[in-house]
Amino acid sequence: MAFEFTDNNFQETALSGGVSVVDFWAEWCGPCRLVGPIIDDLAAEYEGKATIGKVDVDANPELSMKYGVRSIPTILFIKDGEVVDKHVGSTTKAALMAKLEAQL
């Protein structure tokens, strides 16, 4: 299961070093529901190698504003505290794996 990032835990989890994949999503978003299971799969497959999780944009507006998230799903790839890649919209598992592998 994917990690649940929040306004309160983001600094110490996603930005603490290493690689993080952050999916900005909302319950009411159709494309987000398609990407969600992919994020869950990646979280299981890359456990111990990367922190992979989701941010509910409705419950965590500060993070959405900080990272300029205007469309969802938006997936950020963070390495050592810096955003190094980004994907907006629906995508495939293979595409996300390729971006993730490039950062590991």
**Residues labelled as active-site residues:** 29, 32
Cite the DSSP H helix spans in the chain: 10-13, 30-45, 61-66, 93-103
- To which residue do tokens 């300029």 refer? 68
Please enumerate in sequence order all residues whose Cβ is within 8 A of that of 90, keeping only pairs 6 or more positions apart, or say none: 31, 34, 35, 73
DSSP designation for 48: T
Burial class (CB in 10 A: 0-12, 13-18, 19+), 99: middle
